[in-house]
Structure 1
């Protein structure tokens, strides 16, 4: 297997201990890892065309009843979406102790990554995004789905167009989204004001988030600023968009500026419907992706074709008779057969729990960082702290900004990722079950031990749980996470402290930490450095 082609496609080579088979797929490389599992770039062993992104969840999460209920909700969402503007599910199943889900692997860049690498998009390219992302919202609305986390890192750009990815916190129909202790889930800078204020979300909320995402594409900035703090939440909920930022759009294209301004209306009734956005974009001519973005996407596609043509090494026979029994599902769980989806070897009995066992990693399979590690570009998927107040329609929880307009200044708790908490770091390892030996009759009962407390850099630094490449010059929540962990490990990140700005002091601290762990001291925070920072030692 060509390591060069793998890295060009956004994957890292496999390591000893990685699985050689995941259901009907042969892993080729690692696309990324997170708190709940790993994502592999894989080939179907039945000779079917195309590559797959196969997400494997750590077994311990399948044992948690609340987690299974969350998966049931996401399963219903994923199964209901049928559009070329969103990822296609290939299949799901159990293999040994691995619970997996496979989607089409599409070589591309997230919008967030595209802007960081190649600069803002020109107005014709932004109009293309209006058309294609509005088509996605039309399909979601037809399926009764509200995405609730539409933002630059959840938009994938490929040679074949734009797609909306990551339905980990989406809502189907009138269902509510389960949250812990009344927290909002999503990214504050791109949330809709009615969701922040009252907990309500519908298709018009996605239109608001789309408006902010398109402003970012055109200017490199969010219309209310970026970040996860209460100040950003207050601006989104109660203030008008930054007129200087919107002025940049309007100055280049008055029609586009007016359209995005309408999308960002505080009153949901004043926002255009997705179909109206499609119609507005249809009247504007646009061509392919601008350069050099098109060249980068073509390079990714070329690497994809190289990997797809390479012969597979010999792999063990498919262990169809050695499946792991699925955990007992909650009431209402049923089979989720996907007609027309390919299956290798003997068919497996699948459940809705298997459909979405990866949770937040579903969309991240396409947008994982490059560099030292895993090519995941998404910005953190944070849960927004809630402030006590009245019940809300979506979550049955208090709105974090219910009292903000009255002049109160609630102290935010640290923003947490929506990935399930894990007692172990998001390291790149394969979890396998270990047999236990029952004590003999003569043996004394084992002593009851108290698990050791998590180190401060794990328990107190929970605002970001991914592993996107983070480097000098970045200003985002990932940097805040890095600084938080470094400070609690005894490193200095400068007088400004944990300000989310990756400056010289933070880079020096990263290098010093890397040297202490025997890592390449390059100042880049990728998969290996993230794993080391999150380790208990």
Structure 2
């Protein structure tokens, strides 16, 4: 989101513009508000393109198609003018990043989130196809990720089911990498083509790469693979792979319909459906949106209507003609904007209180909460919430006296009100992982009392139901935490994302003790993705003596070492090591691995 420039209009079609959301070859997209304070996205076509009759016809079709679909899985069309010198389209603003942005920032989605994405996209296609349309350009940048599910946008090349394919010679309608074989070969598109694109989007979301671009190459090389080669689905979780394979069948007749995709999914998606870091990003974006103000400018007074008013006295509305200017109403603008702020803040607080998603801090460890009309520290004091200086993620480490048991605790504190959700707590030992949700019991100027409730225990039943924690600011930038007889210091967490130096595939040779001696060493492979704390960012595979075992591990800390805990077995029958950590090797510039429970350790090699 960028500030408006001198060449940007202050208003389009009665919508007051606040910022520029993006720009491309087609035109510019702005963030705006109408006279009642509703936030909108306004797409304005470049004037030079508007002079192209074929392009203008395509834009008219996009507006008509988007109007026909509407519904819960797309951005609703509010208004448009397809005939002006610079045609424009206004839709409801969807507060969320694109799927491409999510994967670029946070890495591939975990399995449950990817399956929930597939369900949302299938329902969106049901709505599109029920209107007699084929989208034809379903791709990650046309999927917006929101707290309530995905939204499909951009119907620029959608076509009616009975429309013939008519393009200029050599023109490609679609996006290489996310096209169907029918598009590549210039054949007539059917709803099955959208299903193929859904499979490619799903593979990208769960694997972090396009399924037909494994070796790079030109656009034509990618299109050849789409038409003639199998997709690269290596590394996808098994359930995701099954859905993607079904959608990516070369023959349209072999692909499931959207309702068939839903039948392949494991029931209703979990709530929350997104990883915590993605939810935090959406929350920060909402906070910036609430604080955004329109640039000051002198509005032009509306010209008086030449005839009788278009509506009876006392009835609000707008003339029924394309592109007609809205009559700005200052009272509605001020009051509507305030209502929008209050509703959005209330909605975010309700989501936190219902614990729909454990929020996490920004990459620098500082959590951000939705802001209204007051500064954060003023809001925290007035609501009796967590003091501003304590908001964020904190980590504490200790070794229990007289034992080899080591603890790592990570607490994320949010600026919620007393009685509401206040964050998350991870407690990890050599062989136990406990994830808890926190509720704020009371708050003072420099301390808070929290109640924890266990939501995940590995092994099952090892964590108990919860406990009471007191966190107090020590005055030196640290926190003192206590629960019963336990007391430990917490320092600000360095971040929440796997540093690039750890990402990739690493392996070590480990010994395997047996009765009477040792067996030949096993090979232990770590596949580390660009994930965030709280996600299964590490996959562990152990092979040796004809055996193979694979499992997933959840990330619990990222600096100065990455620390993870084996949470579940994906293949085979073995124990995968409990809490483990990977640290930089200062001597040779490589990495060292250690399993804290077994004491196994060794240097890691790439590959």
> TM-score, structure 1 length as denominator?
0.54
Report what 1:269 is aligned to.
253
The correspondence for 1:74, drawn from 51, 56, 62, is 62
- What is the CA–CA distance in structure 2 between the aligned matches of 1:271 and 1:248, rounded to whole Å? 22
Q: Deviations over 1:36-84 (max 9, x none)?
A: 432211111x22x431111222334333332333233323312211221
Kindly indicate whether the alpha-carbon contact (under 8 Å) linking 1:53 and 1:102 is maintained by their aligned counterparts in 2: yes
- 1:351-372 Cα offsets, whole Å, 9 max, x none, are 89xxxxxxxxxxxxxxxxxxxx
Which residue of 2 is the match for residue 531 of structure 1? none
Say whether the 8 Å CA contact 1:27–1:41 is kept in structure 2. yes
Alignment of 1:189 with 2:177, yes or no, is yes
Q: Deviations over 1:118-137 (max 9, x none)?
A: 11110010011011111001
Q: In the aligned structure 1, how far is the partner of 2:125 from the partner of 2:152? A: 9
CA–CA distance in structure 2, aligned partners of residues 20 and 214 of structure 1: 39
Give deviations 1:4-37, integer Å, cap 9, x for gaps. xxxxxxx211222422221211111111222343
Alignment of 1:155-234 (within 5 A): 155-225=143-213, 228-234=218-224
2:240 corresponds to:
256
Match of 1:300 in 2: 285
For 2:2 and 2:244, locate their aligned partners in 1 and report how far apart those are by CA, in whole Å. Answer: 38
Mapped to 2, the partners of 1:316 and 1:351 lie a distance apart of 18
Secondary structure at the aligned position of 2:235 is classed as: helix
> 8 Å contact 2:206–2:240 — kept in the other structure?
no
CA distance in 1, matches of 2:209, 2:129: 27
Report matched runs for 1:116-127 at 5 Å.
116-127=104-115
Distance 2:301 2:134 in 1: 38
Q: In structure 2, what is the Cα distance between the partners aligned to 1:92 and 1:72?
A: 9
Q: 1:115 aligns with which of 70, 93, 103?
A: 103
Partner of 1:278: 262
C-alpha separation between the residues in 2 aligned to 1:138 and 1:147? 11
Distance across 1 between alignment mates of 2:297 and 2:271 = 43
Counterpart position of 2:43: 55
1:24–1:344 Cα contact (<8 Å) kept: no
2:12 to 2, 5, 22: 22
Does the C-alpha gap of structure 1 residues 228 and 320 become closer, same or farther in structure 2, counting only changes over 3 Å? farther
Q: Provide the residue aligned with 2:78 in structure 1.
A: 90
SS in 2 for 1:39: strand
Q: Which residue of 2 aligns with 1:350?
A: 322
- The whole-number CA distance in structure 2 between the counterparts of 1:232 and 1:286 is 35
Residue 279 of structure 1: CA displacement?
A: 3.1
Measured in 2, the distance between the counterparts of 1:58 and 1:321 equals 30
**Contact 2:84/2:323 (<8 A) preserved:** no
Given that residues 194 and 201 in structure 1 are in contact (C-alpha distance below 8 angstroms), is that contact kept between their aligned partners in structure 2?
Answer: yes
Equivalence for 1:136: 124
Q: Distance in 2 between matches of 1:318 and 1:113?
A: 41
Task: Sort the Cα spacing of 1:196 and 1:311 in 2 relative to 1 into closer, same or farther, 3 A.
Answer: closer
Q: Is the 8 A contact 2:144 2:150 kept in 1?
A: yes
Report deviation, 1:194: 2.2
User: Which has the greater radius of gyration?
Assistant: 2
Q: 1:312 to 1:72 in 2, by over 3 A?
A: closer
In structure 2, the CA distance between the partners of 1:227 and 1:162, relative to structure 1 (3 Å rule), is farther
Does the residue aligned with 2:11 lie in a helix, a strand or coil?
Answer: coil
Q: Aligned ranges for residues 108-507 of structure 1 at < 5 Å?
A: 108-225=96-213, 228-242=218-232, 246-249=233-236, 252=237, 254-281=238-265, 283=267, 285-288=269-272, 289-307=274-292, 310=293, 313=296, 315-317=298-300, 319=302, 346-347=318-319, 349-350=321-322
Question: Is contact 1:70-1:178 (8 Å) kept?
Answer: no
Contact 1:156 1:163 (8 Å CA) reproduced: yes
Q: CA separation in 1, counterparts of 2:269 and 2:60? A: 42
CA displacement at 1:152 relative to structure 2? 1.3
The total of aligned residue pairs comes to: 314
SS in 2 for 1:92: strand
Supply the distance in 1 between the matched residues of 2:54 and 2:166 (Cα, whole angstroms).
9
Shift in alpha-carbon separation, 1:160–1:57, aligned structure 2, 3 A: same
Query: In structure 2, what is the equivalent of residue 102 of structure 1?
Result: 90
Contact 1:169–1:177 (8 Å) recurs in 2: no
Would the alpha carbon gap of residues 65 and 194 (structure 1) be closer, same or farther in structure 2, given more than 3 Å must change? closer
- Deviations 1:60-111 (Å, cap 9, x if unpaired)? 4333332333233323312211221111111013898543211111221111
Cα distance in 2 between the residues matched to 1:75 and 1:156: 18
CA distance in 1, matches of 2:301, 2:30: 18
Confirm or deny: 8 A CA contact 2:16 2:294 kept in the other structure. no
Query: Greater strand percent: which structure?
Result: 2
From the superposition, tell whether residues 57 and 311 of structure 1 become closer, same or farther in structure 2 (CA, over 3 Å): closer
After superposition, the Cα gap between the structure-2 partners of 1:52 and 1:285, relative to the gap in structure 1 and judged at 3 Å, is closer
Q: Distance in 2 between matches of 1:237 and 1:94?
A: 36
Q: Give the C-alpha shift of residue 313 in structure 1.
A: 4.5
Instruction: Describe the SS at the equivalent of 2:205.
Output: helix
CA offset at residue 287 of structure 1? 2.4
- Whole-Å separation in 2 of the counterparts to 1:57 and 1:197: 30
* Partners of 1:223 and 1:241 within 8 A in 2: yes
Deviations along 1:360-393, whole A, 9 cap, x unmatched? Answer: xxxxxxxxxxxxxxxxxxxxxxxxxxxxxxxxxx
Q: Unaligned regions of 5+ residues in structure 1, if any?
A: 1-10, 323-342, 353-471, 473-537
Q: What is the alpha-carbon distance in structure 2 between the residues aligned to residue 267 and residue 350 of structure 1?
A: 43
Evaluate the alpha carbon distance shift between residue 26 and residue 294 of structure 1 in structure 2; reply closer, same or farther with a 3 A threshold: same
RMSD of aligned residue pairs (Cα, Å): 2.9
